[in-house]
Amino acid sequence: MSTNRTYNITLLSDISMQSKLFKDSLERGIELEVRLVSLSDLEAEGNANTTMLGDYVLIDFNYLNDSNFETYNQARLAANINAKEIVINCPKDVASSQLFKWRNLVGVFYVEDDISLLLKGMEKVMQDEMWLSRKVAQDYIEHFRCANTVTTSQVYANLTKREKEIMRLLGHGASNLQIADELFVSENTVKTHLHNIFKKINAKNRLQALLWANNNIALEERV
């Protein structure tokens, strides 16, 4: 496969023999360089001015869970690029809701898909098409359509003014330290507020809180 444009492509996965072999196969197929990046690489990058994320980011479904997703999300926001996200090694029976955390999803490939199918899908994706099953596409569109029309729930209305401020900043992707700086409080104070917020909305972590916000906070209150 050859393309008329040059893209920066990132494979977000653990650094292993298997991932390196996959990277090599992908590079041969799409005739473009692929950068293999781990979560440790993203964490080490920290506050650097450069980014390891490219125009397209392939994410191993099993590599990112709810707890370490925030590392990727912070790197994506810091990069200030609208990277298109492609999930690979996805279980065939995965619930569509587990894919909603990817805000710019353009492709999903399953564990049983072979390299030839992946290359075919990548070709479509790099032609500005999408590679999603009909069900995933419908569920994904419906989720974000509803997110833009939700009304504010009573649970959110009952949060304190400071808790609402923190939820708004959380929705913008701010880290605990960034929230602390914005509100002129200590990072420990932010952590305490987040603990109380999570308890009130029955969320276990930041990702669950973000998903809750999509379904319980009107769009005009999130900006």
Distance (Å, whole) CA 104 – CA 39 = 19
For domain 154-221, give the fold.
Answer: Arc Repressor Mutant, subunit A (1.10.10)
Q: Tell how strand 34-37 and strand 84-90 pair up.
A: unpaired
| Topology agreement, domain 9-133 and domain 154-221 | no
pTM (two decimals): 0.66
167 in helix, strand or coil? helix
Closest-CA residue to 95 (of 149, 147, 133): 133
Residue-level length of the chain: 223
Q: Which helix (H) or strand (E) holds 59?
A: strand 56-60
Tell me the pLDDT tens digit for each residue of 183-223: 999 999 999 999 999 999 998 888 788 888 877 887 667 66
Cβ atoms of 209 and 198 within 8 Å: the answer is yes
CATH match of 9-133 with 3.30.70.250? no
| 98-148 per-position pLDDT tens digit | 888 887 889 999 999 999 999 999 999 988 888 988 888 888 777 776 666
Domain boundaries, the chain: 9-133, 154-221
Phi, psi values for residue 85, rounded to 5°: -105, 135
Phi first, then psi: what are they for 87, rounded to 5°? -95, 130
